[in-house]
Amino acid sequence: MDGFSRDAQQRALLGGTPLLDLLDGVGGQTPAYFYDLDGIEATVRGLVAALGDPRHTVAYAVKANTAGSLLRRVAAAGGGADVVSGGELAVAEATGIAPSKIVMSGVAKLDAELDLALSRRLLGIQAESVEELERIGQRARALGVTARVALRVNPSVDIDSHAHIATGHDEAKFGIAREALPEAWRRIDASEGWLEGVGLSMHVGSMLREPGPYLEAARVVCEEARARLRAGGRLDYLSFGGGFGIDYGEGACEPPVAFARAALDLLRAEGLGALRLVLEPGRAIVAPFGVLVARVVQTKEHQGKRWLMLDAGMNDLLRPALYQAHHRVEALDAAPSGHPWRVVGPVCESADDFGLHPMGSEAPALVVLRDAGAYGYTMASEYNGRALPTEAFVSGGRVVHVSATRGVEDWVRRRLEA
Ligand code: LLP
């Protein structure tokens, strides 16, 4: 599984092909995201194989990267989807992911989104509150269909991660507290058949380095599942969510298959091996297989500080500004070495800063921001009047598809229309 690497001449490669050649494939346009579709597909295949039984589902968290070319590979590899909006559901379905492999999460699903989900009979609509459950029941009754619902449990586990991406603790807006689960089941049982309680789910947050905290939270879900089964309920699936971390250059993480195997072992050890297991990884499937290539527009040296100013900024890759996330920035034609440059974007915000990166004495013409396949393009904006970046899809060593920027002219036209 390739992703980013370097050859003997220290040229940066993606999926084994020099990024400089791939850049030619998009006419040299920057900033541009490049994705290694083969690596992504192989990762999904690896996870599907680790789960073994075809009943189990790798529900790729679409929010990480919504590109159609990429979703088609997820579908081809036998993956499903975790979606959080009607838009995500529509793209997942249109790229060939079967509704029976799609779960829908989200704390404030719109009525129209619930209606779409209900009409498709998804694997599960994951309810995040007792109040939402009530609304799902109303929509199901209005449409005359039975809603397959799962309860998203807030397992009350705090993970060691950035506060913005921890979701399973007591202060989080996500999920139903354990104390409220009996009431949720009661509402399901009293729904005159409009609500069918088919599962339990959780997602405790992102960037877990090893399965320990994940399993701790999953045990809570298993306990709750056994309680429901003891009470005579029927369950189809348990989703343990996503959150498998990747190495952004700050320390290795267990590979995604290690999480998948640990989850499966836990399900069996908890005596719940008859249930279907759902996992919702996003980042681990796409982040290492995407890079953002940018051009150096300007350098500046002052009082011993060296600045490298790019044509890519927080509008293209928001994670560093939003979470102080670290993405390695490297020259395209040389391995990191020497003293650091301060790498920043063009946006008029101090937070538009990618940090310090060693890149020798001469400023490079082109750089690559690594591990940008997840939560990169999907969180991009047009702030400061900048066009969204180009996206290029790589397979078999070449660019097989380009989704070119619509350009600043398009932005100007739309703003004038506003
Ligand atoms: N399932 C649910 C219900 C989720 O909310 C999420 C992510 C996932 C699965 C997938 O998590 P993953 O495997 O990708 O960690 N924008 C942030 C990450 C936010 C994650 C939100 N929920 C970032 O750039 O780090």
The structural domains of the chain, with segments of one domain joined by +, span 4-35+287-417, 105-281
pLDDT given for residue 125 in this prediction: 98
pLDDT given for residue 286 in this prediction: 98
> Is the per-residue pLDDT at 168 higher than 90?
no
Q: How many angstroms does the Cα of residue 122 sit away from the middle of ligand 1? A: 20
CATH code for residues 4-35+287-417: 2.40.37.10
Q: How many angstroms does the Cα of residue 244 sit away from the middle of ligand 1? A: 9
Residue nearest to atom 4 of ligand 1 (CA): 203
pLDDT given for residue 404 in this prediction: 83
User: What whole-number distance in Å separates Cα of residue 331 and Cα of residue 271?
Assistant: 52
Residue nearest to atom 16 of ligand 1 (CA): 375
User: What whole-number distance in Å separates Cα of residue 317 and Cα of residue 411?
Assistant: 19
Q: How many angstroms does the Cα of residue 283 sit away from the middle of ligand 1? A: 7
User: Would you name the residues annotated as active-site residues?
Assistant: 348
pLDDT given for residue 51 in this prediction: 98
What's the pLDDT tens digit per position in 25-60? 999 999 999 999 999 999 999 999 999 999 999 999
Which of 53-62, 136-145, 151-160, 364-373 is the least confident region?
151-160
What's the pLDDT tens digit per position in 279-327? 999 999 999 999 999 999 999 999 989 999 999 999 999 999 999 999 9
User: What whole-number distance in Å separates Cα of residue 190 and Cα of residue 194?
Assistant: 9
Identical fold, 4-35+287-417 and 105-281: no
Residue nearest to atom 23 of ligand 1 (CA): 375
Task: Identify the residues whose C-beta falls under 6 Å from ligand 1.
Answer: 61, 64, 82, 105, 165, 203, 206, 241-244, 280-284, 319, 323, 375
User: What whole-number distance in Å separates Cα of residue 211 and Cα of residue 265?
Assistant: 12
| Count of CA atoms in the C-beta half-sphere (13 A) of 229 | 17
> Is the per-residue pLDDT at 1 higher than 90?
no
pLDDT given for residue 411 in this prediction: 96
pLDDT given for residue 20 in this prediction: 98
> Is the per-residue pLDDT at 126 higher than 80?
yes
User: What whole-number distance in Å separates Cα of residue 76 and Cα of residue 116?
Assistant: 24
CATH class of 105-281: alpha beta
> Is the per-residue pLDDT at 334 higher than 80?
yes
**pLDDT band at 157; cut points 50, 70, 90:** confident
Distance of CA 303 to the CA centre of its chain: 40
User: What whole-number distance in Å separates Cα of residue 314 and Cα of residue 353?
Assistant: 8
> Is the per-residue pLDDT at 336 higher than 80?
yes
Is 278 strand, coil or helix?
Answer: strand
Q: How many angstroms does the Cα of residue 78 sit away from the middle of ligand 1? A: 21
Q: Which atom of ligand 1 is nearest to the CA of 167?
A: 5
Q: What is the mean pLDDT of residues 202-217?
A: 93
Token look-up 């005159």 returns 192
Of residues 70 and 158, the one with the higher pLDDT is: 70
Nearest residue to 208 via CA among 158, 161, 277, 268: 161
Asked whether the CA dihedral 281, 370, 320, 376 is positive or negative, the reply is: negative
pLDDT given for residue 163 in this prediction: 62
Residue 259: other Cβ atoms inside 10 A? 26
| Continuous H helices in 79-129 | 86-94, 111-120
> Is the per-residue pLDDT at 118 higher than 70?
yes
Tokens at 279, concatenated: 């996992």
Are 105 and 113 within 8 A, CB to CB?
no
Residue nearest to atom 18 of ligand 1 (CA): 165
Q: What is the mean pLDDT of residues 130-152?
A: 98
Token look-up 């249109």 returns 94
Tokens at 153, concatenated: 């449990």
What's the pLDDT tens digit per position in 233-248? 999 999 999 999 999 9
Beta strands in 142-207 (DSSP E): 147-154, 176-177, 195-201
Are 396 and 408 within 8 A, CB to CB?
no
User: What whole-number distance in Å separates Cα of residue 3 and Cα of residue 16?
Assistant: 8
> Is the per-residue pLDDT at 158 higher than 90?
no
Q: What percentage of the chain carries pLDDT values higher than 90?
A: 92
Token look-up 């970046």 returns 389
Token look-up 């949720």 returns 184
User: What whole-number distance in Å separates Cα of residue 288 and Cα of residue 239?
Assistant: 24
Average pLDDT value over all residues in the chain: 96
pLDDT given for residue 225 in this prediction: 98
Nearby residues of 281 by Cβ (< 8 Å), 6 or more positions away: 47, 58, 60, 61, 242, 243, 244, 256, 259
First to last CA, the chain: 45
Rg of the chain on CA atoms, in Å: 22
> Is the per-residue pLDDT at 169 higher than 90?
no
Pocket test for ligand 1, best of 85, 257, 280, 289 (most atoms within 8 A of CB): 280
Q: Which atom of ligand 1 is nearest to the CA of 374?
A: 24
Q: What is the mean pLDDT of residues 221-225?
A: 98
Instruction: Give the burial string for 38-73 (b: 16+ CB within 10 Å, else e).
Output: bbbbbbbbbbbebbeeeebbbbbbbbbbbbebbbbb
**pLDDT band at 218; cut points 50, 70, 90:** very high
Q: Which atom of ligand 1 is nearest to the CA of 206?
A: 15
Nearest residue to 31 via CA among 374, 382, 325: 382
Pocket test for ligand 1, best of 43, 47, 57, 63 (most atoms within 8 A of CB): 63
Q: How many angstroms does the Cα of residue 205 sit away from the middle of ligand 1? A: 7
> Is the per-residue pLDDT at 171 higher than 90?
no
pLDDT given for residue 142 in this prediction: 98
User: What whole-number distance in Å separates Cα of residue 5 and Cα of residue 3?
Assistant: 7
Is 402 strand, coil or helix?
Answer: strand
> Is the per-residue pLDDT at 407 higher than 80?
yes
pLDDT given for residue 399 in this prediction: 98
Residue 304: other Cβ atoms inside 10 A? 6
Are 277 and 264 within 8 A, CB to CB?
yes
pLDDT given for residue 159 in this prediction: 65
